[in-house]
Structure 1
Amino acid sequence: MTNTQKALALISTFASGDAQAARELLADGYIQHNLAYGTGVDAFVGAVEYLASAPVKTTVQNVRAFEDGDKVVLQTVYNFAGAGEQVAFDVFRFDENGKIAEHWDNLATLAPANPSGHTQIDGPVEAADLEKTEENRAVVQNFLHDVMQGKAPEKTPDYFAGDAYIQHNTGIADGLSGLGAALAALGEQGISMVYDTVHQVLAQGNMVLAISEGSFGGAPTSYYDLWRVEDGKIAEHWDVMETIADKGLFSFWCV
Structure 2
Amino acid sequence: MRLISVVVSVVALASASKLGSYHPTAATLPNCPSRLASPAEQRAIFNDFVNDFYVEKNTTKALLNHMTEDYIQHNPNVLSGRQSSVDFLATLVTPEGVNMTIIHNNFDNNTGYIHYRLDTLGAPEPTAIVDIFRFDGTCIVEHWDVIQTICYECR
The TM tier, using the shorter chain, reads: 0.5 to 0.7
Shift of 1:154: 5.6
Pick from 105, 110, 113: which aligns with 1:206?
110
Structure 1, unaligned stretches of length 5 or more?
1-128, 251-255
Report what 1:183 is aligned to.
89
1:197: which partner in 2? Answer: 101
145-154 vs 228-237, greater mean Cα deviation: 145-154
Greater CA deviation, 209-218 or 221-230?
209-218
1:89-238 superposed matches below 5 A? 132-153=38-59, 155-156=61-62, 157-161=64-68, 163-184=69-90, 186=92, 194-216=98-120, 218=123, 219-238=125-144
- Please state how far the C-alpha of 1:144 moved relative to its aligned partner: 2.1
Q: Structure 1 CA distance, aligned partners of 2:88 and 2:58?
A: 19
CA contact 1:141–1:201 (8 Å) conserved in 2: no
Task: List per-residue Cα deviations over 1:184-215 (Å, max 9, x = no partner).
Answer: 5658xxxx5x3522121123210111111122
Displacement after TM superposition at 1:227 (Å): 0.3
Task: Give the Cα separation in 2 of the matches to 1:160 and 1:141.
Answer: 14
**Are the counterparts in 1 of residues 46 and 112 from structure 2 also a CA contact under 8 Å?**
yes
- Structure whose alpha-carbon radius of gyration is higher: 2
User: 1:63 aligns to what?
Assistant: none
1: CA distance between counterparts of 2:50 and 2:40?
A: 15
TM-score w.r.t. length of structure 2? 0.61
State TM-score, norm by structure 1. 0.39
Matched position secondary structure for 2:70? coil
| Residue correspondences, number | 114
Identity of aligned residues (%): 27
Q: Which residue of 2 aligns with 1:34?
A: none
Contact 2:59 2:90 in 1 (8 A): no
Task: Show the 5 A alignment for 1:25-36.
Answer: none
* 1:249 alignment partner in structure 2: 154
Matched AA of 2:139: K
Contact 2:133 2:142 in 1 (8 A): yes
User: Structure 1 or 2: larger helix share?
Assistant: 2
Q: 2:89 & 2:113 partners in 1: Cα distance?
A: 21
State the secondary structure of the residue aligned to 1:171. Answer: coil
Closer/same/farther in 2, CA of residues 186 and 198 from structure 1, 3 Å limit: closer
Letter in 2 for 1:183: L
Structure 2 equivalent of residue 79 of structure 1: none
Paired amino acid for 2:119: S
Check 1:168–1:144 CA distance in 2 against 1; reply closer, same or farther (3 A cut). same
Q: Distance in 1 between matches of 2:57 and 2:86?
A: 17
